[in-house]
Amino acid sequence: MSLSHPLVCLGHSLLDISAAVSVEMFEKYGVRAGNAILAEEKHMPIFKELVDNYPCDFIAGGASQNTCRAAQWLSRTENFTGFIGVVGEDEYSQHLRDSVKAAGVNAYYQVEPTVPTGTCACLIHEKERSLIANLAAAQMLKLDYLRSIWHVIENCSVIYAEGYMFSSAVDCVVESAKYACENGKIFTMNVSAQFIIEFFREPMMRAWPYCEYVFGNEDETQKFGEVFGFGSDVVEAAKQMSLMPTNTPRPKKIVVTRGKDTVLIACEGKVTEYNVPLIPSEKVLDLNGAGDSFVGGFLCELIKGGSYERCVAAGNYLASEVIQLSGCSFPAVPSFN
């Protein structure tokens, strides 16, 4: 009998290779703190250099996979989450499988034997980090494979997709989103990055009418407003995003995180703000994965029937836990009530 996972996430399956490095490492590869980029040819040696010269943590990464692990950890429920992505057939794929299994996530990996598993170099220096992603196999999800495991989609209640999928597997996202909308499920997505909004607007709009919850941070929301003609004010952009045409049976909700500032939820042109607990700066270790973890907490509580206030509180709790640890990782046991 097929397993039922309340939450199923689609995304780029990456192995995070995380290490604390000197500022010279940033300079050597021409990257800036707080930045996230795709690896170019000049960046390719960094993955081996990290493994050979630094004590590294190998952690299942990629935006949706982070969200999946976060929700699974908070849920304390076996088989709560399923993840759909692509890996190669190499040493890194085994690290990835081990990490996901340890997190309790059920992974449904399409395997590409001739392509390396996607990796992300996470350079950490004085609480700041820079991410360099080599997508490799991660960007190769095929619609035929998704259809072969369609029971995973049929047996869930919420589907979540990262915006990066609009650059590589838009048909998979759209088919999942349309099915969810037409069959009493909830499809949710994250805009993920400013470049997705700017350069993959048309693919994203194919899924937009079927999406009930859209997540993004304030910079992404501002970019959305600028690209779609809503202006650069974040609150106004969120309002207008919530009023865009939709096929969903319930109104569209836009959820905007703003760091230490209030979280916004826009619905039918109205915005509600939710406070964010302050974490003392001396406790903040690494901001990597905070946004992904917020979404994991939010969706976990949404599935359990929580109010928006409760969903935001769960998201804030998970984000606050993650930023006090290295990489997108969690304590042994959640303390969220």
**Residues assigned a catalytic role:** 292
Surface-to-core class of residue 136, CB atoms within 10 Å of its CB (0-12 exposed, 13-18 middle, 19+ buried): buried
Q: CA-CA distance, 219 to 194, in Å (whole number)? A: 7
109: amino acid identity, one letter: Y
Phi then psi for residue 135, to 5 deg, are -65, -40
Sort strands 106-111 and 57-61 into parallel, antiparallel or unpaired: unpaired
Contact yes or no for 87/117 (Cβ under 8 A) = yes
Distance CA 290, CA 108 (A): 24
As separate numbers, helices (DSSP H) first and strands (DSSP E) second, the chain gives 13, 14
Per the DSSP assignment, residues forming a β-bridge with 155 are none
Q: Are β-strands 253-258 and 261-267 bridged in parallel, bridged antiparallel, or unpaired?
A: antiparallel
Tokens read off for 183: 């069959």
Tokens standing for 208? 């937009």
Tokens at residue 206, please? 């194919």
Q: CA of 59: how far to CAs of 6, 53, 100, 144, in Å?
A: 23, 18, 8, 28
What whole-number distance in Å separates Cα of residue 70 and Cα of residue 315?
Answer: 9
The strands making up 7-10's β-sheet, listed across from edge to edge, are: 106-111, 81-87, 7-10, 158-162, 186-190, 213-217, 253-258, 261-267, 270-274
Contact 254, 243 (CB under 8 A): no
